[in-house]
Structure 1
Amino acid sequence: MEAQAPPKKTFIAALMSAAASPRTPSYREDTYLPSHLKPSEQKSLQHLKQSLLASSPTPHPSMWGIPLLPPDADPRGDVVLLKFLRARDFRPRDAADMLLRCLEWRRAFAADAVAEEDLGFKELEGVVAYMRGLDRGGRPVCYNAYGVFKDKEMYERIFGDEEKLGRFLRWRVQILERGMKLLDFKPGGVNSIIQVTDLKDMPKRELRAASNHILSLFQDNYPEMVARKIFINVPWYFSLLYSMFSPFLTQRTKTKFLISKEGNAAETLYKFIRPEDVPVQYGGLWRAGDDLSGPAKPASEFTVKGGEKVNIEIEGIEVDSTISWDIVVGGWELEYAAEFVPNADVGYTVAVEKQRRMAADEEAVHGSYTTREAGKLVLSVDNGTSRRRKVAAYRYTVRKSAAIV
């Protein structure tokens, strides 16, 4: 009897297994340090430069303000060239063709000027696509969410005809170009961004044309600019969605994918991004407008095991002090309470926030309490009815109240 070949994994199953590790083994991010290049890669870099010298339509080609060729070139230019080489498996001729097409596209698109343009998409900023904070490695993070386009009126207003679609694509390039301005383009520096894409409520059929345009445009003109593509709130039909844009992706791009099904956004994002930099809608502590008050106060992370109750005690609070705190548990579905316990035996414990059941989709809690006596604040989260481990974070500040005259 002839042995049967093992069944092939579906794409969604392969991504789910890859999600168990922060990085898939097949992906390796370049350092761009000359000493880390193989002799064959160094040779390809020299061949690429020679090819550009012979075929560039301008004597001083540059990208993102970085000169690429002698006599003006600097180490940053080599980083850009190596990105195109990596995207073409270090085939210098193919990399040169790709780079020249990109230079022509940037000229025709006026990409160098787009970052400062007012394209009239104020309602989409901070909602559909935006740069927000850094990951744990110092890389800028770009968030993408297209669920607002399930509203047909909104969809028609943004994508109703070719002209509107073209303006939207220009706006998406604008967001990415702003991200490019945050990169070092230096050997050993921060040379890529992280992309987080929220698939919740995304109208996959309606956005087919826009998705294909965006993916093709980014892959052709921003090679190796994304270190990791994190998909969160992934619905059951993701495999169908993937089949829509798979033909536009290289194999190396696919190895950068990390998948997170609905309810696991915080646990996935915390692997890469500190909680104070994760937006509240994804289980973090950052709210729109927080940046206006300066850098985010670092948060303390902890886990709540299934069946476990955790009490966080903030001690040393003096008389007439105001304590403010933020606390969040990824995918809550547990009991939360806050109480103030005075130091004096004659004092009474105050239920600052009565125990209540927190829904899975609730955002971070922000609380504040002014004391009348010295004591401690106790924040409790009770995961006693669940077997699932959950990630969580909190932070606080204490300030002495001004003296009353």
Structure 2
Amino acid sequence: MEASSPLPLINPKLTIQQTQQHEAPTPSFKEDTHNVSQLKPSENKALKELKEKLSVSSLDSNSMWGIPLLGEDERANVILLKFLRARDFRVSDSLTMLQKCLSWRKDFGAEIVVEEELGFKELEGVVAYMHGSDREGHPVCYNAYGVFKDKEMYEKIFGDEDKLKSFLRWRVQVLERGINLLHFKPGGINSIIQVTDLKDMPKRELRLASNQILSLFQDNYPEMVAKKVFINVPWYFSMLYSMFSPFLTQRTKSKFVITREGNVTETLYKFIRPENVPVQYGGLSLKEDLQTGPPRPASEFTVNGGEKVYLEIDGIEDGATITWDLVVGSWDLDYSAEFAPCAEGSYTIAIEKTRRIAAGEEPIRNSYTSKEAGKMVLSIDNTNSRRRKVAAYRYLVLKPSST
């Protein structure tokens, strides 16, 4: 069989709902340039001064992430500018921060931690993990600590100081793997996106670990995060943020996105394409998908409250096989699929009978081989809800072999 080109999905005669693409939003936080020629005169002066001071200082190491800090490598400018911006271009403070970071990386063994086997298999892909990229190409790191509401799991990971140290080492390992995906080039991808899921997070119990992680990252990974997206945010977090917001810099606040439960998928779709959003957050991406190369692109649409949407894939030939993926953020609606033959007098075939899909279920993934020409019709029924929901789909038609 051979793959056909994508076909129009929505029948133009159906005006209940039209598909619509999410345009990449204009980010509230504008990443700073790492191109020396675009720096302000004062910033350029600070960069040169930092290099001079660095060249005469005693360092435990003179490289980070395999990039020599001394010399003419333009990648070094990207790193040095991150330390300068973290200290508002105060050269002495930036140098002190850099020296402490280099010392910590040597003592911690940060350059080799990526290859270590630390024994946290049960946390991989659950607590902290890199998964895909955002619409602009930034690697995305997901964090979710709800698993630690289980006291047995909490004691297993954080039961004593040695266990906490091991966890912190593993958490650094995850971050280092993400940083290894960065370009460290002017105009390249030089920071990551962090998505933090606060659902069921035992805040009081994790206070010590959270504080140590935050302190460690702030001291040793300056300006490595382009945006921080908080999802499933409880009411008290929003209240705390409003209290502390006046004390945060505009630069810091511009990186924050805060979303209450129920709006997770819609928020993530604004920054991350649905084929890159993990299935547990209303996307189409499974961990194993990432091992087979770039995901097939998906299209997005909206299902308004009280509406029933029909997605039609027509032009299917006799003997063709069609595969499709479909997901609706916070499902809780009815779904069905049927094949409608073109021939007059032929009967419509029920591929998937109408069933209710609850919130939290994984995407629909199915296929069908036609025995005659026709079209596939996917039905998404949201008539019993008043809530608007974002959705995504993709499909592939394999034509019958000509041999």
Relative to the length of structure 1, the TM-score reads 0.88
What's the CA shift for 1:322?
Answer: 2.4
What's the CA shift for 1:243?
Answer: 9.9
1:16-70 CA-to-partner distances (Å, cap 9, x unmatched) read: xxxxx95675x33112112221111111111211222232335x6111111112x
2:51 counterpart residue number: 49
1:67 counterpart residue number: 68
Equivalents in 1 of 2:230, 2:139: separation in Å? Answer: 16
CA separation of 1:194 and 1:63: change in aligned 2, threshold 3 A: same
1:269 counterpart residue number: 268
- List runs of 5+ in structure 1 lacking aligned partners: 1-20
Equivalents in 2 of 1:305, 1:77: separation in Å? Answer: 49
1:213 counterpart residue number: 212
Number of corresponding residues: 380
Question: For 1:1-12, what aligned pairs fall within 5 Å after superposition?
Answer: none
CA separation of 1:294 and 1:61: change in aligned 2, threshold 3 A: closer
What's the CA shift for 1:250?
Answer: 6.9
| Contact 2:131–2:287 under 8 Å retained in 1 | no
What's the CA shift for 1:239?
Answer: 4.1
CA separation of 1:199 and 1:32: change in aligned 2, threshold 3 A: same
Q: Secondary structure at the match of 1:206?
A: coil
Alignment partner of 2:42 out of 40, 43, 59: 40
1:4 counterpart residue number: none
Question: For 1:6-405, what aligned pairs fall within 5 Å after superposition?
Answer: 25=28, 27-57=29-59, 61-69=62-70, 72-239=71-238, 252-400=251-399
What's the CA shift for 1:364?
Answer: 1.2
What's the CA shift for 1:301?
Answer: 1.2
Structure 2 letter corresponding to 1:271: K
- List runs of 5+ in structure 2 lacking aligned partners: 1-23
Equivalents in 1 of 2:214, 2:162: separation in Å? Answer: 19
Equivalents in 2 of 1:95, 1:54: separation in Å? Answer: 15
Q: Secondary structure at the match of 1:111?
A: coil
| Contact 2:33–2:39 under 8 Å retained in 1 | no
Provide the aligned C-alpha RMSD in A. Answer: 2.5
Equivalents in 1 of 2:141, 2:375: separation in Å? Answer: 39
Q: Secondary structure at the match of 1:123?
A: helix
Structure 2 letter corresponding to 1:317: I
| Contact 1:33–1:187 under 8 Å retained in 2 | yes
Equivalents in 1 of 2:129, 2:248: separation in Å? Answer: 22
CA separation of 1:331 and 1:303: change in aligned 2, threshold 3 A: same
CA separation of 1:129 and 1:34: change in aligned 2, threshold 3 A: same
What's the CA shift for 1:370?
Answer: 2.3
| Contact 1:66–1:73 under 8 Å retained in 2 | no
What's the CA shift for 1:244?
Answer: 12
1:174-216 CA-to-partner distances (Å, cap 9, x unmatched) read: 0111111100000010000011111111111111111000011
Q: Secondary structure at the match of 2:177?
A: helix
Structure 2 letter corresponding to 1:182: L
Equivalents in 1 of 2:104, 2:243: separation in Å? Answer: 24
| Contact 2:59–2:102 under 8 Å retained in 1 | no
Structure 2 letter corresponding to 1:203: P
Equivalents in 1 of 2:387, 2:154: separation in Å? Answer: 38
Structure 1 letter corresponding to 2:389: K
1:334-359 CA-to-partner distances (Å, cap 9, x unmatched) read: 32221110011121111212223332
What's the CA shift for 1:165?
Answer: 0.2
What's the CA shift for 1:403?
Answer: 9.8
CA separation of 1:186 and 1:292: change in aligned 2, threshold 3 A: closer
What's the CA shift for 1:157?
Answer: 0.6
What's the CA shift for 1:163?
Answer: 0.2
What's the CA shift for 1:378?
Answer: 0.6
Q: Secondary structure at the match of 2:137?
A: coil
Equivalents in 2 of 1:64, 1:49: separation in Å? Answer: 18
| Contact 1:330–1:390 under 8 Å retained in 2 | yes
Q: Secondary structure at the match of 2:379?
A: strand
Q: Secondary structure at the match of 1:52?
A: helix
1:15 counterpart residue number: none
Q: Which has the higher relative contact order, 1 or 2, with Cα contacts under 8 A spaced 6 or more apart?
A: 2
Identity value in percent: 69
Equivalents in 2 of 1:309, 1:98: separation in Å? Answer: 57
| Contact 1:338–1:354 under 8 Å retained in 2 | yes
